[in-house]
Amino acid sequence: MKKWSVLLAALIVLGAGMVTTSFAAVTVEGDVYAGVFDKYLWRGFDLSGGQPVLQGGADLSAGNFTLSYWSNWQLKSSSDHVGINSGEVTETDIIVDYSFDVGEMLSVSVGDIWYQLEGAEDTNELYLAATVNTLLSPTFAIYYDWDAAEEEGLYFTADISHSIDLMEELSLNLGALVAYNMHSDYAVGDYAGLHNYELSLGLDYVLTDQLSVSPSFVYSSGISSAAKDAIDSEMLAGVNLTFTF
């Protein structure tokens, strides 16, 4: 399965040239990125046993459609968690997204995330997200695990964000997110209630027209008693390098 994922990543990059050549009227854009982080933090869960990871991926967009590939590589084994071994690709995601604007004030995205997991059952989530194009860009999203979840399989997020230009090449990004779990029993937990909140801070530094570097920091903590039983308060730090084409 992982070999097919690597092949698909190569096809994404290769496809950019093929599509551009075959369909001159279609504008194809994309990016390739990679980053090192002190852990893999997802929805408040430490999925790397507190050990550093390398995460990377690629996006290819044509019109309103985007095809994305993302993987997590474990850089160091965890002595406290069996099965988390150095050098392994623990997760690969394939995302198909369709985004469009509804007037000037609302942007909508709909798509599917295919989670390919090492040592666990793969699953799929449909998602729908809407962003109000105003102060703080409030965004509301719903995720539906239609594959591995046995209960409702719903997960909701609401977040705000703001970017401040510090100088021509440097910007500061601030964000806050709150999540609500509705029996997404496979990925999160079999309970209904507020899950966690996240506070984020990051910098984007433009090195060239196509290359940028982005250090970031995230603080996450559980909200409800059920969430606090499942996750600990966590801090995440890392740096990402992005090349756009």
Per residue in 168-198, pLDDT tens?
999 999 999 999 999 999 999 999 999 999 9
> How many domains in the chain?
1
* pLDDT value of residue 15: 53
Three-class SS state of 44: coil
Q: Please tell me the chain's helix, strand, coil percentages from 3-state DSSP, rounded to the nearest 5.
A: 10, 60, 30
Q: Are strands 234-244 and 211-222 parallel, antiparallel or unpaired?
A: antiparallel
Q: Please state, in angstroms and rounded to a whole number, the distance separating the CA atoms of residues 77 and 66.
A: 34
* pLDDT value of residue 6: 47
Q: Please state, in angstroms and rounded to a whole number, the distance separating the CA atoms of residues 7 and 74.
A: 20
Phi, psi of 5 (to 5 degrees): -65, -45
Model confidence at 124, in pLDDT bands (50, 70, 90)? very high
199: containing domain? 2-244
Per the structure block, which two tokens stand in for 91?
A: 């997760």
CATH number at residue 171: 2.40.160.40
Instruction: Enter the pTM of the model.
Output: 0.88
Q: Please state, in angstroms and rounded to a whole number, the distance separating the CA atoms of residues 130 and 137.
A: 10
Q: Please state, in angstroms and rounded to a whole number, the distance separating the CA atoms of residues 217 and 219.
A: 7
* pLDDT value of residue 9: 52
* Residue with more model confidence, 6 or 175: 175
Tell me if 225 sits within 8 A of 203, measured CB to CB.
Answer: no
* Residue with more model confidence, 138 or 16: 138
Tell me if 68 sits within 8 A of 97, measured CB to CB.
Answer: yes
> Could you tell me which residues are beta bridge partners of residue 100?
108
Percent of the chain surpassing pLDDT 70: 90
Tell me if 66 sits within 8 A of 97, measured CB to CB.
Answer: yes
